[in-house]
Amino acid sequence: MIGLIRRSFVYRDTEKFTRLFKTIVRPHLGYANPVWVPRRKKDIIALENVQRRATKFVPGLRDLNYPDKLKRFNLPILVYRRA
C-alpha cells in the first residue's frame, strides 16, 4: 500500500500524506482488529514499523524523529488506536 502511494503521487506534503495514509493504509492495518489483536511484542512492532516507514516518504521531514513526525502528521501511534 505504501509503495502505491509513493509511485502514484510525486508531490507529497504533510496534509496530502495524512489524508492518503488515513484512507488507504490505516484501514488495512486495522482490518479484523477485534479478531486479531497483537499481543506479542514483535507483532506490535511489525505493525508500528509500517507507519514508521510510511512517515519517511514525505520529503523535508526525514530528519525528524518518529514521535515528532507523528505530531506533524497529527497521527497517534497504532497502540492507541487498538486500545
pLDDT of 48 higher than 60: yes
Global confidence as pTM: 0.65
Could you write out the DSSP letters of every residue in 38-61?
Answer: --SHHHHHHHHHHHHHHGGGSTT-
pLDDT for residue 81 is more than 70:
no
On average, the pLDDT of the chain sits at: 77
pLDDT at 11 over 70: no
